[in-house]
Each structure stands twice: as structure tokens, then as C-alpha cells.
Chains A and B, each alone.
Chain A
Amino acid sequence: MLKIKGLDKRFLVNGREVVALQNIDLDVKKGEFITIVGHSGCGKSTLLKIIAGLQSQDVGTITCHDRQILGPGTDRGMVFQEHRLLPWLTIRENVGFGLQGIDRKEKERLVEDHLRLVQLEGFGDAYPKQLSGGMAQRAAIARGLVNNPEVLLLDEPFGALDALTRIQMQKEVLRIWEEEKTTMILVTHDIDEAIYLGQRIVVMSARPGEIKAVIPVESSNAKDRGSTEFASIKKRVLRHFFAEEEWAAVEYAI
């Protein structure tokens, strides 16, 4: 459904050219959950922003259902690390923010449906600052989904949450994904999160930002953080981040 071909992106930092992304190829199937892991600054967020249409690539193409992506569109929703709910709008107004030019009744219905989906019914009239971090992020997910996008892009959505809330939110997202069957691409630097959520894990290296490996998570056992499958996938992912001589120590530590 979403096809990324030969994507390059360069930035000028203090007059020096930095290769943010190099030769990125990725096919995302409809309904798939893809997680992208990598160091900070490996270009994974840039990749997400290019898919969203907020930035443009230098070389390469992205197509969604064979239509080229040239800018933002309601066929793609996005959730950021900070919830980015507008402080002056209620949760209800925030969730409906992207619903333009549709009938009022229909809009109300969609907003209520999505508030229910993220279990925030009853909080529609609250302002964002009255909500906890986890609840605000749920509202942001509802806003991202309310247009019924083909794909939901999540840019380290739980990075600012505490560890317990993060685990809860991971479960939530998995539930929402199973319920809505929306294609999801989630960027994270948390390998456990990537394994727990993803059907395929895209491992990226930094400078230049390249795809090192795509690791499938096939067995449903692998979703159990205590299982041997989980541990073995984690090892496979970690293997890509360490040089040969470091690996022995790292392997011992996990």
C-alpha cells in the first residue's frame, strides 16, 4: 500500500552536508504494524515527516495506493512525541480539529466514536492541561485517527511518558490497531517497544540513515516480554547496533 523507493534526504548543518536518509526502500502492507528503531538522529523521525508530507525528500518516491505523496493529506494521520493538543481547544474540539468541511452531526458522531475508542468518553469538555500525559496522548491518537487515515504515523509517541504509563499505552495502541485495522508506522528508540508492537521491525543506522535490517516478528509468543522468542528477537535487533568487539559484553548483559 505504502511504497517507499530510493529515498534520500540531506540537510545542511552549519554549512556541512549531513546525510539524514540514504537509499530507503520499504513496502508497507495494508493493515500492517511497522516499528522503526534506531539511535537518536538516525533520521527515523525525518522519514516519518516525509511520509506525512511535512518535509520533502531530495531523491526517491513515496506512493500511497500508487498515488505519489507530495504534501500532507488526510489519508495520513500523525501523532508526535509531545501530544500537541491545542491548549485553547477542549479535548472534543481537538479531536475534531482535522475534520473540515463535513456535516456537523457527522462530525460530532465521529468525534464521540473516537473518544470512546481511546476511552476518553466523559473528558470531551476538559482542556488538555487538565489531562495526564497518557490521557493527552490518547486524545492525540484519537485526533490522528478521526479522519480515518490509511496510515497512522507515530513519532516516539510514548517517549515523554513514565515507564508504567508507557506499558499501558503500548497495550492501548495494540488494542486500537486490532480494532481499527489501520496501518501503523511507529518510530521509537525503545527496542522492547518495537518488538512488542511491530509485526516487522525496521532497524536503522545513523549517519547516513540507512535501513540495516527488517526483522519480522512472526510468533505471537514474541509479544510476551518474558518469552525466549522475545529475547532472541531483541538480540537480533541489538546485534545491529554494536561492533564485533563490543558484542560479547553486550550479549552477556542482556
Chain B
Amino acid sequence: MSNNRTRRYLTGSLLPILIALGWQAATGMALFTPAILPSMDRVFKSFVEMAASGQLAEDVLVSLSRVVKGYVVAVALGVVMGTFMGMSDFLHNFFSLTLNAIRQIPILAWIPLIILWFGIGEESKIAVIVLGAYFPVLVNTISGIRQTPQGYVEVARLYRLSRWTVFRKVYLPSALPQIFVGMKLGLGISWVAVVASELIAASAGIGFRISDARSLMQADVVIVGMIVIGVLGLLMDKALSLVFHKATPWTR
């Protein structure tokens, strides 16, 4: 079991090592100018400088707090609305056409309108994240609820349980694994959205740092920002997996 896990991690870390080696080789042979692809050394130095000056921590905190705020709102809205749409055919028919159309619009296309409506402060940034993370949560909640086996619902009917009890004891646990899939997708999109939203008019945040560094031709800072997002996103994804694993002991 633990042997298996070690092997899985080893296999998984092969590709990052290969990429690092390739990167090292490419910059070592001076295939690219540092403005296009800086060396790993250079990137690491920037990382240390940014960390030491406290700028990195500030950027991370700013972006993370936006992600968390937007994500929490999106999950709450998506799960509640998804549950209602999953349990009521009328609500499903009423909303699904419109929501499906809205879902097709990329987040970036929303940004101009969101700026007009919410201004260039925090609200607009969080609104972008909510909009991005909401749909995967919604769609997966609906499908999880609707896929609840009717046999289980029939058992609940035998005992004349209230609608609320049936939801709590049958629909919700049955849909939970699928809701979790939506929550993980939503979290990934939250990071996409936070970077996009920080292009609006921000003075801090990882997304802001990346676009700011681009205009100053600091490719090393851009790469530090990207790697930090990747690592943070991965950590949060793993943390969610752990929570889900604990929350659904029967799936083990």
C-alpha cells in the first residue's frame, strides 16, 4: 500500500524533473536570451528576493484572500441552486437553457461589464471569481442530485420521510462525490479568474505581479508568479481531496 504510494509519487515527479533538466540544458547552452527564458538560478534568486522583501507574501495573501472569498460564495450559490435545480424538474427546465448559454461565455468576456457594474475595486475581482467558479459547482451538483438512484428514494418513501430528511439522508450523500468534483474544478477556475481579475486595476496580487513584471520585461518574476500559483493551487486541491476523503468514508 505505502509502497504503491511511493511509486506513484516517484512516477509523478519524473516529469517535473525532466522539465527542470531540459530548462537547465536550454539556458546552459544559451539557446534563449534571459529576457525570453531566464535560467533556473535567476528565477530562484528572484524568488528569494521577492520572499525576503515580503512582496511575495503580500501578493500571495492578497490573491489567496480573493480566491477564498470568491470561491466560498461560488460554492454556496452553486450547491444551493444546484440542489434546487436537481430536485425540481420545473426549476431545472426553467433555468437550464439560460444558464447553459451564460456558461458558454468566457470569463474574460465578462470583465468589461463587470468593471462597469462593480467598478475597479475588490468587488469586481471577487465577482469575476464567483462567476468563474460557480458553473462547475452548479453543473456537477445538478447532475449529482439527479443521478441519485431511484431505488434509494423509494426506500425513503416507504418510511414517509420528510422532503428535508430525504434530501439530507439520500440525495445529498448520493450527490456528494459529484459535488466534490465540481468544487475541485471550481477551485482551479478560481485561480484562472483571480489572475484575469488582477489584470483589471490592481496594485497587488500574483496576477498583478505577473502582468507588471511582463511590462518591465522581467521574465524571471513572471515565472516565479506562475510557479507559485501552480504550487498553491496544487496544495489547495490536495487539501480539498483530503477533506472529501474524510467526508465520504463509505467510498473507501
Contact = CB atoms under 8 A, between A and B. Distances in A.
Nearest to B155: A84
Given A80-B151, A84-B152, A52 B158 contact: yes
B246 interface: no
A61 interface: no
Contacts of A87: 250-251
Nearest to A143: B155
A57 to B, nearest CB: 17
Interface stretch (B3-11, B39-47, B96-104, B166-174): B166-174
B248 A88 contact: yes
Contacts of A71: 160
A72 B158 contact: yes
A54 B250 contact: no
A84 B169 contact: no
A241 to B, nearest CB: 29
Contacts, number: 50
A82 B161 contact: no
Interface residues of A, number: 24
Contact of B151 (A53, A82, A97, A127): A82
Nearest to A81: B151
Interface string A165-176: 000000000000
A72 B248 contact: no
B151 A88 contact: no
Nearest to A78: B158
A230 B114 CA distance: 80
Chain B interface size, under 10 / 10 to 19 / 20 to 34 / 35 or more: 10 to 19
B173 A54 contact: no
Contacts of B152: 84, 86
B249 interface: yes
Interface string A81-99: 0101011110000000110
A54 B169 contact: no
If over half of B's interface residues share one DSSP class (helix, strand or loop), that class is named, otherwise mixed; here it is: helix
Given A80-B151, A88-B250, A100 B173 contact: no
A74 interface: yes
A86 B152 CA distance: 7
A73 B157 CA distance: 9
Name the residue among B159, B160, B173, B176 with the largest chain A CB count within 10 angstroms.
B159
Given A80-B151, A127-B250, A86 B157 contact: no
B145 to A, nearest CB: 14
Contact of B154 (A54, A73, A127): A54
Contacts of B159: 72, 74, 97-98, 100, 147
Contact of A127 (B157, B169, B174, B249): B249
A54 B174 contact: no
A52 B154 CA distance: 11
Nearest to B159: A98
A52 B174 CA distance: 24
Contact of A54 (B158, B165, B176, B251): B158
B209 to A, nearest CB: 44
A73 B250 contact: no
Nearest to B174: A88
Contact of A88 (B158, B161, B165, B173): B173
A86 B170 contact: yes
Contacts of A80: 151, 155
Contacts of A74: 159-160
A76 B158 CA distance: 8
A236 interface: no
A129 interface: yes
Interface of B: 151-152, 154-155, 157-161, 165, 169-170, 173-174, 176, 248-251
Given A54-B154, A74-B159, A86-B169, 7 more contacts: A80-B151, A87-B251, A88-B176, A88-B248, A97-B155, A97-B159, A129-B250
5 contacts: A72-B160, A74-B159, A87-B251, A88-B173, A128-B250
Per CB-CB distance, the 6 closest pairs between chain A and chain B, nearest first, are A98-B159, A88-B173, A88-B250, A127-B250, A72-B158, A84-B151
